[in-house]
Chain A
């Protein structure tokens, strides 16, 4: 349902706009008007919009996203080769950011009101106000130009990768993954930490915490065993919310680091006015977000005994 909705919206909007993939060739005097009309006919762009949409919908029903003009390959093939890279980036960032964010929140609440708490609070505020691409540019400047530790971009070393042994290839991949994954993780962790800190502080006045304290448990044990378990529940719903944010972040971060994933594909498709690829990326992105929130809902139902089995 949602997929159909997204597809329709993007299709209508894109075709409302002036220009088509072949009007960019207008600047080239060697391309005649006949040739351009010919190309338009070949790709069916001369047909009425209703017919184009009908054909597009029929294709979509067969999971066929159309033909990418700029890559000269089916959209599905272009996206299929880009998707694993994006999933890798998002997966690392998802686990990394929740682990780091929850840890930071625990430290903050354990030392509530201290210098460390306030310092981390300020840091997470600054980071959560920072757009992904700008933080990525700063990281790029700092760690590839000023302190050249990491490679500038791409997923592997374009020249040397194929001649490396297995170990070398793994190291090469990790070195290229490090910066994009680091920036995405840190930014997402800031949001998680802010959320988790508030959730922990919310459960601290509860009766069962007082009971635990009266039992003579140490503050650390109370925090870890009693407070954290209950405060983890709201964080599961955050996973669903984190998905769109991670995907959005990935679009920008892939552009900055030339990471060959969906985001970079989408951005370059915009540049070459490759509609089928733009629509295809947006549809796949929306599916990812929908699946992400579905997983979060299922996790929530599993984790909360009160709704388990309901």
Chain B
């Protein structure tokens, strides 16, 4: 089993650096009100201070509503990270529950549950989300998290099912059953702890994936709604004039790529550590 501490020890050097960078981004996001130089929604001078290129006062420039882009990027980090984290929690819960039940039940139930999963996996996640989000014009962030979570558990439940199928035959499960443990107890106390490693990998890569999706959807104008700032809708605000407002695409994008890359490095390193055993 990969406990958090042993998990950290198993990480490569690059992954530890990545983890530190992620922690730094998380701290900045957490203390956004202190770190951000301006109010992200304030429009101080819609005529005189709009579309300003980067300067000492506004390191990332200002947007067409005269809002400070740096402050919006910092608050955007807060929202994008929160959405990524919460949506992944929803997917993990659903994926683990579904996969564990299918794998443990076996037989007809398993076969049926897997066919349903095949159908769900056939729909491209982005298209499904577009179909959902296009219908509601102004969706709350909570609902966005829910939908991102609801569409993200299919792959994980397959991995979990495979693991449970394999573990079911293990000797320690047979002995637990021989000792008279209930199904629920076997699932919760014996099976789930052995699934921690694949789940940790899926969670890390899942957060990265959700961030990319949220930014993409917000870029299309159907993700996080104004005046809330997200990395995606900052880029969306500048997308009509990409060439003149290049700072609005560049800076939020850079931060997003950095975050996603660090998450991928940690996730891949976790997977290597887990494969090696």
Chain B CB within 10 Å, residue with most, of A10, A15, A273, A289: A10
CB distance from B276 to the nearest CB of A (A): 14
Contacts of A285 in B (CB 8 A): 124, 127
Q: Does A16 contact B (CB under 8 A)?
A: yes
* Docked-complex contact A282 and B127, CB < 8 angstroms: yes
Interface stretch (choices B84-92, B93-101, B173-181, B242-250) = B242-250
Cβ < 8 Å to B, chain A residues 7-65: 9-10, 13-19
A267 near B220 (CB under 8 angstroms)? Answer: yes
Task: Determine the chain A residues whose CB is within 8 A of the CB of B242 once the complex forms.
Answer: 137, 140-141, 145
A303 vs chain B, min Cβ distance (A)? 23
Which residues of A are found within 8 Å of B261, using beta-carbon distances?
A: 125-126, 129
- Residue among B215, B235, B256, B261 facing the most chain A CB atoms (10 A cut-off): B261
Among the listed stretches A66-74, A97-105, A222-230, A244-252, which one makes contact with chain B, having 4 or more residues with CB under 8 Å of it? A244-252
A279 near B: Cβ within 8 Å?
yes
On whether the beta carbons of A129 and B264 are closer than 8 Å, the reply is: yes
Whether a CB of chain B sits under 8 angstroms from the CB of A5 is yes
Neighbouring B residues of A286 by C-beta, 8 Å: 122-124, 127
A136 to chain B, nearest CB (A): 10
Q: Which of A244, A271, A278 contacts B131 (CB 8 A)?
A: A278
* Chain B interface residue count, Cβ-Cβ cutoff 8 angstroms: 37
A10-B131, A128-B264 as given contacts; A2 in contact with B122, CB under 8 Å: yes
Nearest A residue to B248 by beta-carbon distance?
A137
- One of B124, B131, B253, B256 near A289 (C-beta < 8 A): B124
A265 to chain B, nearest CB (A): 12
Per-position 1/0 for A109-142, Cβ under 8 A of B: 0000000000000000110111111100110110
Q: Is B47 an interface residue (CB 8 A)?
A: no
Cα of A270 to Cα of B253 in the assembled complex, Å: 24
- A197 CB, nearest partner CB in chain B, Å: 12
Asked if A6 and B123 sit within 8 Å, CB to CB, the answer is yes
Cα of A289 to Cα of B118 in the assembled complex, Å: 13
- B220 A141 Cβ-Cβ under 8 A: no
Does A85 belong to the interface (CB within 8 Å)? no
A126-B257 contact given A19-B137, A286-B122, CB 8 Å threshold: yes
Task: Decide if A160 is an interface residue (CB 8 Å cutoff).
Answer: no
Which of B124, B250, B260 has the most chain A CB atoms inside 10 A of its CB?
B124
**In chain B between 199 and 231, which residues have their CB closer than 8 angstroms to a CB of chain A?**
208, 212, 215-216, 219-222
Tell whether, in the assembled complex, residue A5 and residue B119 are in contact, meaning their CB atoms are under 8 Å apart. Answer: yes
A235, CB-defined interface residue at 8 Å? no
Residues A270 and B220 in contact, CB atoms below 8 Å apart: yes
B119 touching A125, Cβ below 8 Å: no
Selected from A129, A247, A248, the residue in CB contact (under 8 A) with B208 is A129
A248 touches B243 (CB 8 A): no
- Could you tell me if B132 and A13 are in contact, using CB atoms closer than 8 angstroms? yes
Are A244 and B257 in contact (CB-based, < 8 A)? Answer: no
Within 8 A of A (CB), among B98-155: 119, 122-128, 130-132, 134-137
Tell me if B265 is interfacial: C-beta within 8 Å of chain A: yes
CA distance A204 to B250 in the complex (A): 41
* Closest CB pairs A-B (n = 6): A17-B135, A129-B261, A270-B134, A145-B243, A14-B135, A10-B131
Show 5 A/B contacts (Cβ-Cβ < 8 Å), sorted by A: A9-B123, A130-B260, A132-B216, A134-B256, A267-B220
Q: A13-B135, A278-B134 are in contact. List 4 more A-B contacts (CB 8 A).
A: A10-B131, A132-B216, A133-B216, A138-B249
Q: Which residues of A pack against B, CB within 8 Å? A: 1-2, 5-6, 9-10, 13-19, 125-126, 128-134, 137-138, 140-141, 144-145, 244, 247-248, 251-252, 255, 266-267, 269-271, 273, 275, 278-279, 281-282, 285-286, 289-290, 293
